[in-house]
Amino acid sequence: MYGRSERESTGPSAVKIVISGGFGVGKTTFIGAISEIEPLTTEASMTDRSVGIDDASLLTQKTTTTVALDFGRITLDSSLILYLFGTPGQERFDFLWDDLATGALGSVIIADTRRIEDCYPVLDYFEDKSTPFIVAVNDFDGADRFELGEVREALGVDEAVPVVHCDARSRESVKGVLVALIEQVLLQRVA
């Protein structure tokens, strides 16, 4: 093994990132926009049983929902792979979050300003876990646009936590969000 670094001889390092947020905020779309593999999704058709439980009133074209997790992968180079795990958005699947979040380097919390209150339990969860995170405001077509400072204030998020705009359908936008998360993680590790 002359000339090879220790990392090359042991294989790439894997880093886990959690993509989270409320019901229908764009977690599956976010992972699908950036994953180099066909994302693993656990989508199930929404049925009449979800009426009164899942508020889909603003999501008229949503016909499926994540019932366990989403998974995607990004190879940054021969030494580093990002694994993206998306949490289910409905409260009844919260019991899966601990397994998905264990060992995560950080989290992207996706916010929908049409239903900002759906972010509160997600923020509380990652704050309680002391997991580094950023907030990505998914800019839905037709939704009102707010200044990021207004979103920060509505969420009660500390100034040290980045709040960024995002289009979960755009690979470049998602890449920018992930770069912002990695920068946040590095800042917290240095501090």
Average pLDDT rounded to a whole number, residues 168-180: 97
User: What is the DSSP annotation of 108-162?
Assistant: EEEE-GGGGGGGHHHHHHHHHTT--EEEEEE--TTSPP--HHHHHHHHT--TTS-
How high is the pLDDT of residue 37?
A: 93
Average pLDDT rounded to a whole number, residues 160-176: 97
* pTM score, whole prediction: 0.81
Percentage of residues of the chain with pLDDT beyond 90: 58
Measured distance CA(1)–CA(56) in Å, rounded: 57
Instruction: For 105-149, write each residue's pLDDT tens digit.
Output: 999 999 999 999 999 999 999 999 999 999 999 998 888 899 999
Among 28-42, 52-66, 103-117, the least confident range: 52-66
What's the CA angle centered on 33, arms 18 and 169, to 5 degrees?
105
More confident residue, 191 or 75: 75
How high is the pLDDT of residue 185?
A: 94
How high is the pLDDT of residue 2?
A: 46
